[in-house]
Chains A and B, each alone.
Chain A
């Protein structure tokens, strides 16, 4: 028992040493993206939303999150990907975003959630600045998980609206 505990402890330490973080990943247009799991407040299904007049198209509106007004951003539209009908898999990931001097609670609507991976931060590779696409700025880095590639989001940029 004690040995087991120590083992676990060592493992955790090891993970800390190697700046391993857990990331929640989700799908959007066949691609997998990840956000630091510590910023995730909760995951909700898509629900009716109140539209904000004259807002950018990617701001779908606001919802009531237990008394707090939380804006929801459609990540597809934010990335300039064509919108799809919201279906049963569509989820809203509510995130706590640390902006310059405030902390805001915002939600992102994505196609579906995928998994939680432990990823060492140093494994992340910078995004090649090849295309003129603006979307590169929303991605903090790319990592390989097995055969797949996951794009880690730069939340500050993504949510800076």
Chain B
């Protein structure tokens, strides 16, 4: 019976990656000397299932590698070896290595085994170095695993073997599949024909099997007849392994030799360009499936049930004659339908929501590695890990966050000496905090380091021509400058940060998710980066507005207020820009009909409405003819069948089936020509003009 195993590959990879994540998390919790048995067990189990799975699917490179890892873990688990910091480091490295191996295999490429082999040698050194009697066996077993052994198998079935439904011939042919088989049969016990009971088994056998398989594979074959036969398996002229773990490696037979031959061929070519293949594969390794809790699925099923009931009720009503009573119940039914639909929508959206711990979980490792590299002492605090976030948002959030955390560690936190000198706790703290606020998720990255150096930023900005020497900026405005392109203040370019691709990329990435990022900093106390993101990218709350006969949608999240214009507070700046003085601020008025080139809109300011919106810390007023309703809209792509349209972030379908376009505020500001590289420019300019007049 042959099953196409490839259909399970994806599941295997996913489970393995999860297992690796678990291993990594637990390894980071391990403190040598005070390790917790349960933690080690978790790591062991994860390693064990990866080994088992990869064996089954014929990824022998992974299976072999995991085997040595597992052997070490097993010894630690049994207490026959003490855990050292070196072990933890090595295990962490192997987690990385395994992840890389699995990624290449997932991408159906030949894995680069150089690193795995190096690590394996190290493991074998550890295992072999302190060669106690028992450990030698296991270490040697790991080595002898791939070489050929000859086993002598004595198989003497009891007379009633056939009655239990077992057929020795099958077992023998299975044995033959494992390797080279020599068979002797003994017929001494066969009685003469008169006494012969035809349903009994009188034969016995002796086999010599030469195979590269483990003894356990042989044992597996005889598993069912253990109680119905005398079986002895002995290794001829070799090592006696006392194997306690049975990995299903029978499938690996054909693929194993091919892959084992690989390292020798691959080694010389890949050494020089080792990072390349890994990078190529990580790009497309974005997972395409999600795990959904059974409770979420159950609640969905409930809801669909209710929906079906409502539908049945409505269709029943539809068949009746329309009277006043039916109209009442029809309305009731429709209300229920609306309710059901909304619940269903919310719950379907919840399926895409995952706790942010998926992103957070990679940071303990990152912080550990970087702090070792920088020789700083850092404590990482994670708060609000259960905060849920849309999966697509989450995937794109991870890179900007890594960047911010690295920055905090590299630039924010001081070295131990400096911290002690400043009277601070020598151990710096980086805190990641996530929470919901309104329709947003807010993620804060806080450090208690030195804070942003405003004078240095200012100096640099002047040098780069971003601001002029005469500009007077508040500290906050100066801090904002770090988000401009080509800005990096690191004293020296380090491996970690300071390559000039920096905060502007972070800001761009986050804005691509229609979010925002801000920084607050106090010298000597620390800095806080705040990322704000919409919970989901698929649905937004929108304000419908009318411009001439066109309906547009403004994301509710960016609207600050809507008002009627007090014409006395409007001043004209430059050629054709009107600015409204609203409390202490000057709000430039964007005439949407101009920007969108629509005819027939109301042009006189006091007859229209102004929707004040904010994007990138820039407030602008959008002139609209009328405010219509507010509603949740499902975002549809315009690019799918058309192309990107400036000033429009997407489209949606309204209740009456018409298409309406969603306004992209920051795109609009760009389109209007207001946006200069430094968003402050415009405000400052207009202020200056006003004061002059």
A62-B651, A64-B653, A69-B651 given as contacts; is B641 within 8 A of A50 (CB)?
no
- Residues on A with C-beta less than 8 A from B341 are none
What's the Cα separation between A79 and B597 when bound, in Å?
A: 23
Minimum C-beta distance from B191 to chain A (A):
69
Instruction: Choose the segment among A8-16, A52-60, A132-140, A141-149 that binds chain B (4+ C-beta atoms closer than 8 Å).
Output: A52-60
What's the Cα separation between A63 and B657 when bound, in Å?
A: 9
Is B326 an interface residue, CB under 8 A from the partner? no
**Cβ proximity bits A71-103 to B, threshold 8 Å, 1 near / 0 not:** 100000000000000000000000000000000
- Residues on B with C-beta less than 8 A from A51 are 550, 598
What's the Cα separation between A68 and B657 when bound, in Å?
A: 11
Is B637 an interface residue, CB under 8 A from the partner? yes
- Residues on A with C-beta less than 8 A from B657 are 64
Instruction: Choose the segment among B314-322, B404-412, B538-546, B658-666 that binds chain A (4+ C-beta atoms closer than 8 Å).
Output: B658-666
Q: Which residues between 631 and 687 of chain B lie within 8 Å of chain A, taking CB atoms?
A: 636-638, 640-643, 645-648, 651, 653, 657-661
Is B224 an interface residue, CB under 8 A from the partner? no
**Cβ proximity bits A106-120 to B, threshold 8 Å, 1 near / 0 not:** 100000000000000
Minimum C-beta distance from B635 to chain A (A):
10
Is there an interface contact between A69 and B638, defined as CB atoms closer than 8 Å?
yes
Is there an interface contact between B640 and A68, defined as CB atoms closer than 8 Å?
yes
Is B595 an interface residue, CB under 8 A from the partner? yes
- Residues on B with C-beta less than 8 A from A52 are 638, 642, 645, 648, 661
Minimum C-beta distance from B595 to chain A (A):
7
Is B240 an interface residue, CB under 8 A from the partner? no
What's the Cα separation between A108 and B661 when bound, in Å?
A: 21
- Residues on A with C-beta less than 8 A from B638 are 52, 62, 69
Is there an interface contact between A104 and B640, defined as CB atoms closer than 8 Å?
yes
B residues contacting the other copy or chain, number (CB 8 A): 23
- Residues on A with C-beta less than 8 A from B595 are 53
A residues contacting the other copy or chain, number (CB 8 A): 21
What's the Cα separation between A55 and B661 when bound, in Å?
A: 13
What's the Cα separation between A155 and B598 when bound, in Å?
A: 30
- Residues on B with C-beta less than 8 A from A106 are 641-642
Is A30 an interface residue, CB under 8 A from the partner? no
Is there an interface contact between B636 and A69, defined as CB atoms closer than 8 Å?
yes
Is A40 an interface residue, CB under 8 A from the partner? no
Is B162 an interface residue, CB under 8 A from the partner? no
B645: contacting residue among A53, A63, A68, A104, CB under 8 A: A53
Is A105 an interface residue, CB under 8 A from the partner? yes
B659: contacting residue among A54, A63, A104, CB under 8 A: A63
Minimum C-beta distance from A49 to chain B (A):
8
Chain A at the B interface: SS class: strand
Is A67 an interface residue, CB under 8 A from the partner? yes
- Residues on B with C-beta less than 8 A from A53 are 595-598, 645, 647-648, 661
Is there an interface contact between B659 and A50, defined as CB atoms closer than 8 Å?
yes
**Sorted from nearest, which 10 A-B pairs have the closest CB atoms?**
A53-B596, A50-B659, A71-B642, A104-B641, A69-B651, A64-B653, A105-B641, A64-B659, A69-B636, A62-B659
- Residues on B with C-beta less than 8 A from A62 are 638, 642, 651, 659
Minimum C-beta distance from A128 to chain B (A):
32
What's the Cα separation between A105 and B643 when bound, in Å?
A: 12
What's the Cα separation between A54 and B658 when bound, in Å?
A: 19
- Residues on A with C-beta less than 8 A from B643 are 161
Knowing that A51-B598, A104-B641 touch, tell me 7 more A-B residue pairs with CB under 8 angstroms: A50-B661, A53-B595, A53-B647, A53-B648, A63-B659, A69-B638, A71-B641
Closest to A52 in B: B645
Closest to A107 in B: B641
What's the Cα separation between A64 and B597 when bound, in Å?
A: 22
Minimum C-beta distance from B211 to chain A (A):
51
What's the Cα separation between A62 and B550 when bound, in Å?
A: 13
**Cβ proximity bits B620-636 to A, threshold 8 Å, 1 near / 0 not:** 00000000000000001
Is there an interface contact between B653 and A67, defined as CB atoms closer than 8 Å?
yes
Is there an interface contact between A48 and B658, defined as CB atoms closer than 8 Å?
yes
What's the Cα separation between A131 and B645 when bound, in Å?
A: 34
Is there an interface contact between A69 and B659, defined as CB atoms closer than 8 Å?
yes
A50-B658, A62-B651 given as contacts; is B598 within 8 A of A68 (CB)?
no
Is there an interface contact between A69 and B641, defined as CB atoms closer than 8 Å?
yes
Closest to B638 in A: A69
- Residues on B with C-beta less than 8 A from A63 are 659
What's the Cα separation between A59 and B598 when bound, in Å?
A: 15
Interface-central residue, A50, A53, A105, by most chain B CB under 10 Å: A53
Q: List 11 A-B contacts (CB under 8 A).
A: A50-B661, A54-B597, A54-B646, A55-B645, A59-B642, A62-B642, A69-B636, A69-B640, A69-B659, A71-B641, A106-B641
A67-B653, A69-B638, A161-B643 given as contacts; is B596 within 8 A of A50 (CB)?
no
Closest to B653 in A: A64
Closest to A51 in B: B550
- Residues on A with C-beta less than 8 A from B646 are 54
Closest to A105 in B: B641
What's the Cα separation between A53 and B661 when bound, in Å?
A: 9
Minimum C-beta distance from B617 to chain A (A):
25
Is A70 an interface residue, CB under 8 A from the partner? yes
**Cβ proximity bits B577-612 to A, threshold 8 Å, 1 near / 0 not:** 000000000000000000111100000000000000
- Residues on A with C-beta less than 8 A from B651 are 50, 62, 69
